[in-house]
Amino acid sequence: MVFPTVFSNPSAIPGGDAKVWNDAYYWLWAFWWFRKAVMELKNPFLTGYLYYPEGTNLYYSPLIPVVSFVMIPLQLSFGSVTVAYLVLVLSLVGSAYFAYRLAIRFTQDPFASFVAGMGYGFCSYVLTQTANAHLERVAGMPWIPLTVLYLLKSIEKTTIKNIIIASISFSFSSLAGDSYNIVFLSIFYLLLMVWKLITGDIHIREKRVVKLAFIPLLSLVILSPVLLPTVFTPCPEAVRPLAESMSNSEDTVALFVPSALNPFLGRYVREVRSRFSGFFLGYGAMALGAYGLVKERRKTKFWLFSFLLFTTLSFGPVLQVFGQSEFLGLTIPLPYLILYYVPFINVIRSANRFIVMSILSLCLASSIGLKRILQRVSSNGLRSSVLRIVPVASIVAFMMFESCVTMNPTDMTIPGVYHKFAAESEEFAILEVPVSPSISVYQFYQTVHGKPIVGGYLGRENPYAFVLYAPVARQLRKLDATLDIFRDELANRLSVFAHHRIKFIVAHKDLLSAPELATVESILLDGLSIDTPFHEDKLTIVYRVPWISKPMIFFGPAENWYRIESWGNISARWISNNARTILFNPSREEKEVTLEFSVTSFHKPRTLRILVNNGLVIAQRVPTHFTPFSLRFTIQGGQNSIIFVSAEGSETPASLGINPDIRSLSFAFQNIKITEL
């Protein structure tokens, strides 16, 4: 049920054969990178091997550092695939075991608690995450019931041992699992403390209240080596638009509909499931939980409130029913909206993952309900145990039937050229085409060749100036051979690759159509004068970039340039209030350059201000027809910034009644050229 991939392909892990948005490839890379960084005494949360040459941070990407560190010896001996399998197996078994330990605290019945453990450890949510290779979510599952167990133990007996274990498991829920878990458990801890104060189990003036406050404080101390640099590393792209949170929220109907991945029921619900997102709770758990809530109100009341709170949070910013969020023209806002505007917590973009706490609460309530049912069975010795095994086994079998999902193996085929790259001792980088942040397989290939790659897959958008401004690279990113307004010579374009030691460009046949492959060939022929592939096989076409011994300056667009337009067979680009161009000087010395271009002002004459490295170079009046300009200035070594600014701002054609265009326009440029003197 869980690992058919073991039997069909022992060298693959679950994740499917897609090479786009496949987290299996990311995790095989993450284990490899963490091991490499630790063994080279580098910070594993900073890497220059992705998004080369700029590099990136991994503070907002899943790394499960505790697990990755502990697994280094095993990875060295058996490889990343074995480590990934081991993490999945131990996480599933650990989830079931600790949920069992938590349940037995309330039921004192091993049979009822066993059902709770299986219901939590092998629920539809966990198995779906396993099938999609979301290792951080699966690895974090055991720590949730363990933390809840020791929070309860700490309240009952506020010993140093209980507080330390609660704090470690609290922090490890994120360090060894999903970073969201620390938020889930913090909310649960607050709910639990408020509940205990309301019910009178603890009093605000008790000394143990102060001792219990050490649990979150000690957890923060344990988390601090990762938490502090994360807090002080700006990452605005980590906060996603509210609309994205809605698409990753639980639909109320999804709670009652099995997964489309279920091998038995999926065919019947696949069409319905396509209309909404969310995770299935399980009919068995819901039935037993409802029975427990009716028959054991006092024992299950807290778990009912916990279930309702986290289920409501999983619904996201607004209520959705069968894929609809508007009812009679109105939307119903929900409490998640509050969390969305709380700093640091607002990085949670998948509200439906709150459901894991709902599942745990439901499983505990179901164990209490099942105990009540099993009490009807005779309690006399061996005969009682045998009689209990039959209904318990039947219940577990039914829960596994409704929760199981199909596991498809990940395609582990590695093009042979990467083994050739690995054999080269020279340090160089690789540019993979298509250039896209959604393609995860490139990082898996990197675990073989070990060279930096242009781009990367982190599960989030990453600011990346290089593929926006670098000649040829920006054309390959868009797969557009259209001549841009930024005019340079072959030597300038080759200088980009020579300076950054980008030696090979790899075009992937299985990710590009025939017309796209032809476009790549055209871009490389026109841009880099490459007319013959270095290597070709059934999966890849590899081009070697010609070497230039003395790199020259190179430049290209950065922010706020509109798309290329054709005006009388001449390319042009509009800007709004301002736009920036990056000019890179490979030399450490200052150089004098000439900037030439043609420009026209939109609708009326405007003043064009040009700033070089934030210093004003010229302010020139521009008429409403294309006019050539030329100016000289000095640039520093390394990266330089040229900013074009409209002193009078910009206007939209729509606001002036010219046409429906709502773009804010000021100047249009043609034939921008920068020449060394």
Contacts of 393 (CB under 8 A, 6+ apart): none
Positive or negative CA dihedral for 500, 506, 508, 509? positive
pLDDT band per the 50, 70, 90 thresholds, residue 3: very low
Q: Where are the alpha helices (DSSP H) in 108-179?
A: 110-121, 124-131, 135-140, 143-156, 160-175
Calculate mean pLDDT across residues 120-145: 95
DSSP state of 509: G
CA angle (308 as vertex; 202, 215 as ends), nearest 5: 40
**Phi and psi, residue 645, nearest 5°:** -125, 135
What percent of the chain is predicted at pLDDT more than 70? 97
Alpha carbon 446 to its chain centroid, in Å, reads 19
Nearest CA to 237 out of 106, 60, 371 is that of 60
* CA torsion, ordered 239, 240, 243, 246, to nearest 10 deg: -80
Alpha carbons 610 and 607: distance in angstroms, whole number: 10
CB 81, CB 11: distance < 8 Å: yes
Say whether pLDDT at 574 is over 50. yes
Q: Give the whole-angstrom CA distance, residue 253 versus residue 255.
A: 5
> What mean pLDDT is predicted for residues 610-615?
95
453-454 and 486-487 as β-strands: parallel, antiparallel, unpaired? unpaired
Higher-pLDDT residue of 96, 79: 96
At 385, list the tokens: 């145990």
DSSP 3-state of 566:
strand
Interval 121-125 mean pLDDT: 96
What is the value of pTM for the model shown? 0.91
Mean of the per-residue pLDDT values for the chain? 91
Model confidence pLDDT, tens digit, residues 630-677: 999 999 999 999 999 999 999 999 999 999 999 999 999 999 999 998
Residues 502-521: tens digit of each pLDDT = 999 999 999 999 999 999 99
Judge whether residue 1 has pLDDT over 70: no
Reported as a pLDDT band with limits 50, 70 and 90, residue 314 is very high
Query: Do residues 421 and 546 make contact, with C-beta atoms less than 8 angstroms apart?
Result: no
**In sequence order, what are the residues at sequence separation of 6 or more whose Cβ sits closer than 8 angstroms to the Cβ of residue 350?**
180, 245, 248
Cα separation, 452 vs 455, whole angstroms: 9
Residues 467/558, Cβ–Cβ less than 8 Å: no
Find the Cα–Cα–Cα–Cα dihedral 340, 346, 351, 353, rounded to 10°. -150
Average the pLDDT over 164-183 and give the result. Answer: 95
**Whether CATH 3.40.50.410 fits 554-676:** no
What per-residue confidence (pLDDT) applies to 2? Answer: 47
User: What residue spans in the chain does CATH classification 2.60.120.260 cover?
Assistant: 554-676
DSSP 633: E
Averaged pLDDT for residues 55-72: 92
Q: Specify the 3-state DSSP secondary structure of 387.
A: helix
Peptide bond between residue 415 and the one before it cis (omega within 30 degrees of 0)? no
DSSP 239-276: S--HHHHHHTS--GGGGGS--TT-TTTHHHHHHHHTT-
**Which positions ≥6 away from 79 have C-beta within 8 Å?**
none
How many other CB atoms are there within 10 angstroms of residue 662's CB atom?
Answer: 9
**Spatial distance between the Cα atoms of 604 and 590, rounded to a whole number of angstroms:** 37
pLDDT of amino acid 411: 87
Listed in sequence order, the residues at least 6 apart from 72 whose beta carbon sits closer than 8 Å to its beta carbon are 34, 35, 38, 39
**What's the pLDDT at 223?**
95
Of 96 and 328, the structure prediction assigns the larger pLDDT to 96
Q: Tokens 């064009």 sit at which residue? A: 608
Residue 382's pLDDT band (boundaries 50, 70, 90)? low
On the question of pLDDT at 7 being above 50, the answer is no
Contact 599, 626 (CB under 8 A): yes
Q: Is the pLDDT of residue 8 over 60?
A: no
pLDDT of residue 6: 45
The pLDDT of 172-195, averaged and rounded, is 94
pLDDT-wise least confident of 160-164, 354-358, 419-423, 550-554: 550-554
pLDDT category of residue 468 using cuts at 50, 70 and 90: confident
- Pairing relationship of beta strands 502-508 and 429-433 according to DSSP bridges: parallel
Whether the link from the prior residue into 471 is cis, omega within 30° of 0, is: no
